[in-house]
Chain A
Amino acid sequence: MAELGIDPFVAGVVLAMAVATFATKIGGLWILSRVEVSDRVEAGLSVLPGAIVVSILGPELVDGGPAEWAAAGVVAFVAWRTNRLLVALLAGLVAVVGFRALL
């Protein structure tokens, strides 16, 4: 049923989703541009990047198995040694496919 047409009501729902999503994307920055941020809060914000990364990654890896854990180790090692994202990414994909076949 892959027809091309766009139903106006469907388009309305999709655009409402788009507006809501855009609001979440800009919300954090918008609030920080309105309020004066103290040094203490600044210090808290400075740990956000690493904390968010760990928060996304932790449960993702907990959900995985030995193959994903080993592949994550490969990515970390390659990223640390080479500092090349693409190399680390490719090594990780090869590793995860390989480990899934083996483990």
Chain B
Amino acid sequence: MTRENTEANVDSSDPASSHATGSNGAKPTWTDEAGTGAEADSAGVDKTPPSEPAPAKSVGPVSFGWAGFRRGFTTGLPVAIGVAGYGVAFGMLADRAGLSVGEAALMSATVLAGASQMVAVELWSEPIPVATIMLATVAINLRYSIMGAALEPWFRSLSPGQAYGSLFFMADENWALTMGDLTSGSGRGAFLIGSGVVLWLWWVAATILGVVAGGAIGSPERYGLDFVLAAVFVALAVDLWDGRSSLLPWAVALGVAVVAAETLSGQWYIIAGGGAAAIVEVLRHDG
């Protein structure tokens, strides 16, 4: 599972890659659009042959450096531009709810969670219903706990500051990009924060634009930007598909999530779907 064979020898039967198991085999990572291959960090570190049998889920060495940050930043840039359409929409809603530019920008800069921000400004009134807003914020964002848990195999080797600092910048879109990158065996621990920072920059800038000039731009649907999230997740699903072993957990997640989305409020369906799949996998493990 060295970088060499994840990048180059996807089709070869390189024996060095045969110890990799699960989803961490020689799957190619997202192709670098610029073709620069800026990933010099940790090259050489991961050439050590495994001295013990690979665990059920080997993730390889994880580094936290500028090269990983840059790769996250450049990969996240087009997605961030797409998400910025929603930043404009949020700015318009915030303006209509009576927030100032400064207040809306402060919320985008410190909360950085689109769906909960939209709901908060929808609930906003005078006097501000603080308890309702807080409850909605936690309920909508609880899915991030389960998404952060999915990063644990890689983030366990980062320092707490690196891991928790990165998680501040986690949103749905860059989490998806990061899972795609890390499961390919890239070992780029700074990918999340790199893709998060570029998302943050566009999110805050778009919020300000939305408050100041939102009326002139119109809704993101006009440009198909409401499809960005779905498109990113479809591409990620293609990347994460691991053959027949994925079939049962994915089917469980899909069924539970679709039913829960119809019956539960907010975004509980994401936790329900993910949780049900994990429980089924725990039950069938070595069963």
Contact = CB atoms under 8 A, between A and B. Distances in A.
Interface of A: 1-7, 9-11, 13-18, 20-22, 24-33, 39-62, 64, 68, 71-72, 75-76, 79-80, 82-86, 88-90, 92-94, 96-97, 100
15 contacts: A2-B212, A20-B141, A25-B145, A27-B144, A29-B164, A44-B282, A45-B152, A46-B23, A48-B278, A52-B143, A53-B179, A55-B273, A61-B230, A71-B227, A76-B237
B235 A82 contact: no
Contact of A75 (B145, B231, B272): B231
Given A82-B31, A96-B227, A25 B167 contact: yes
B149 A28 contact: yes
Contact of B278 (A45, A59, A75): A45
Contact of A15 (B110, B133, B156, B254): B110
A43 B281 contact: yes
Interface of B: 22-23, 28, 30-31, 33, 56-57, 75, 78-79, 82, 95, 98-103, 106-107, 110-113, 116, 120, 128, 130, 133-134, 137-138, 141-153, 155-156, 160, 163-164, 167-168, 170, 172, 176-177, 179-180, 183, 211-212, 223-225, 227-242, 246, 249-250, 252-254, 256-258, 261, 269-270, 272-274, 276-279, 281-282, 285-286
Contacts of A27: 144-145, 148
A42 B242 CA distance: 17
A27 to B, nearest CB: 4
Given A20-B138, A89-B78, A48 B111 contact: no
A29 B57 contact: no
Contact of B234 (A24, A52, A62, A72): A72
A19 to B, nearest CB: 9
Given A20-B141, A55-B256, A93 B224 contact: yes
